[in-house]
A and B are shown apart, each in its own frame.
Chain A
Amino acid sequence: MQRRSYELWAALSAILAITLLYLWVVSRLEAVPPSSDLFGHGLGTAGFLLMLMTETLYSLRKRSRRARWGRMSSWLRFHIFTGLVGPYLVLLHTSWKFNGLAGIVTALMIAVVLSGVVGRYIYTAVPRTADGVVVEAAELERQIAAAEADLQRWLTGRPEADQRLMQRLATLPDAAGGPLLVLGRAFLEWEYRLAWQREQRRMGALERSQARELDRLLRRRRSLHRQVASLAMARRMLATWHTVHIPIGMALFTAAFVHIGAAVYYATLLT
């Protein structure tokens, strides 16, 4: 498990556990549990509370830096965890029926979750400190200079073969710029890794050992260059994303509250 994404593993584990519980209930009932019984309402209530926490807690923490209740990155991880598990619970609560307002709420919820995934992807394109503070371009330039110096120190006194190796690795594919640099960076990174694997297969054992250290230095420099190149674009995209995500989210919660009110009126308190 990678430390930087353990919230995803935690969410996946929770989803797996919830799925097993759901399947057990299905086997007991020999039917899909209805939305309106105790289990169905429990799923909906728990899911909605988690979604409400997703919507509010991280935003509150971002806006109350003086209080400093926990690190921003931890709150973001919790935000991601609740943002995945909550909607999954609500999805199970639907009993796979999407009529009327309940169907609209479900559709909005799926849109918000997908939007959140995209937002998270754009968000990670913007370099930040551990507390979530955006690293500015000047700081990135300083880090690039340090990375360049590390690379040069490594190359100093190296044989000509290492110089040629550095030239080969430095010319591996990368994005030219624009939105693709932000949205397509995972694909580009994957493409780079494939090229690097091909290079490694052509190397001898000694050369491969040296290449790994060289690759680490080059990837650091490459990442910093990419961040500098995409910083402005990533910020613009993040702002754009906010203008879409927040209205969808508000539409979702408004519709969800109406749905809850109707459910209370028509079903939950039925006598």
Chain B
Amino acid sequence: MNKPLGCLSSSGLAAAMLVLVSLAVAGLVWGGLLFSPGPLSAQTGDEPLGGVDSHAETGGRCSACHVPFWSNETMSDRCVLCHTDIPAQLGDPTRLHGALMRSGEMEFCRDCHPEHRGSDAPLTMLDPGTFPHQATGYSLQGHQQTAGSSPFACADCHGEDLTHFDPASCAGCHRDLDAAHLQAHETAFGPDCLACHDGLDTYGASFDHAQTAFPLAGQHAPLACTDCHGRARTVADLRDAPQDCFTCHGADDAHAGQFGRDCAACHTADDWGQATFDHSQTAFPLNGVHLETACAQCHAGGVYQGTPQDCAACHEDPPFHRGLLGSECASCHDAAAWLPARYDRAHTFPINHGEGSPSPCQTCHPDALSAYTCYGCHEHDPAEIEHKHREEGIVDLRDCMGCHPTGQETENEGDDD
């Protein structure tokens, strides 16, 4: 080498020294501001944190956030020294910060919260391509394109402040898609879209109601959502929609409340008219002829409650009984058929007569139970009976049982001797 580099000349070295001294003085006067790539945010929170109202108030105190690269501390550690509510969120995957950290997309606070971008610049900046938006409680799965078929930008919904969301921004696009539907929807369910919608569903035509506890069947299938959920304002409201029939149908209950609120016990969603009432579940199970009896024959005038269960309420005591048997019809008759009846009670005359008769009682009591005749039986020919009794000197034949209480042929025969 002939001579040293020009930069190592006295003027060059003097300039270098001058710069170093100037920077040292500037550092003493302004702190780290000399190295600041831009103003810190002046955005204020709800309350002072770490003794300042905004990042800008830290001034040139860079160490409030920055740590030496040889330190075990991280910048995020410095963040939570002031933002003390964040560590709890980070450990909770149901919270935004916890979900973001768990997704692995966001490692450091500054990934989403860049600084030195100006005093008015928003403190939250997210990459739409990697931000797990579902962690906020609203998935963008159904919002890939705007009404104008262009990709969604954050500002389309959030404006300038990503931490803010105005439900009116939903209406802006959805009015373009279907103004009439939106108008009706807002009227029915209110303007707070996020109260029900989470971005994964539409609760519209594609919503599968069969996956709920109340599958829509029969006449329920074509109903509009508002017919049942008209007052819902939240997902909880939607899920709390009453599932009992009476809440909706009570107003036009044809039974006037006589059958209680459990319409489905008889009716299905297919048709009101196809009622399938199971009378056997009542205190008066139907059998026999009662099964074929029209409802109105017992429940006249549509009155179903308080229907008497005793036979006499419907079945008049036949004249044949002459009021001798009381109202316990069922003791002789059953519902399978009124006749033949059975008689199990005590009978002064042995009932061993009249086999083969369709009405055994009428064999002896042809007109009414108040009178009897012994001549209904083929063995008692009146002429022959009269002839035999006349031979015995008996001429009054009106009260057979007076002499034959058991009906035996030889009964009382020896008494005349």
Contacts and interface: CB of A to CB of B under 8 A. Distances in A.
Nearest to B35: A262
Interface in A91-124: 97, 99-102
A64 B4 CA distance: 10
Contacts of B18: 251
A19 interface: no
B221 to A, nearest CB: 47
Given A100-B37, A246-B12, A250-B12, A258 B23 contact: yes
A130 interface: no
B6 interface: yes
B20 A258 contact: yes
A55 B16 CA distance: 14
Residue of A258, A259, A271 with highest tally of chain B CB at under 10 A: A271
Interface residues of A, number: 36
B5 A59 contact: yes
Contact of A101 (B35, B66, B69): B35
B36 interface: yes
B68 A101 contact: no
Contact of B5 (A60, A97, A265, A270): A60
B37 A254 contact: no
Contact of B74 (A248, A254, A267, A271): A271
Interface in B14-69: 14-16, 18-20, 23, 32-39, 62, 66-69
A249 B11 CA distance: 11
A161 interface: no
Contacts of A243: 11
A35 interface: yes
A250 B69 contact: no
Contact of A255 (B2, B23, B36): B23
Interface in A233-271: 242-243, 246-251, 253-255, 258-259, 262-267, 269-271
Given A99-B37, A100-B33, A251-B18, A265 B7 contact: no
Contacts of B20: 254, 258
Contacts of A251: 15-16, 18-19
B13 interface: yes
A102 B199 CA distance: 44
A229 to B, nearest CB: 28
A269 B75 CA distance: 11
Contacts of A36: 37
Interface of B: 1-7, 9, 11-16, 18-20, 23, 32-39, 62, 66-69, 74-75, 108, 110
12 contacts: A59-B5, A59-B7, A63-B3, A100-B36, A100-B37, A102-B37, A247-B15, A250-B13, A254-B15, A255-B23, A269-B69, A271-B75
Interface of A: 35-36, 55-56, 59-60, 63-65, 97, 99-102, 242-243, 246-251, 253-255, 258-259, 262-267, 269-271
**5 A-B pairs with the lowest CB-CB distances in the bound complex, closest first:** A247-B15, A269-B69, A250-B12, A262-B35, A254-B16
Given A36-B37, A265-B68, 7 more contacts: A246-B11, A246-B15, A247-B14, A251-B15, A264-B69, A270-B69, A270-B108
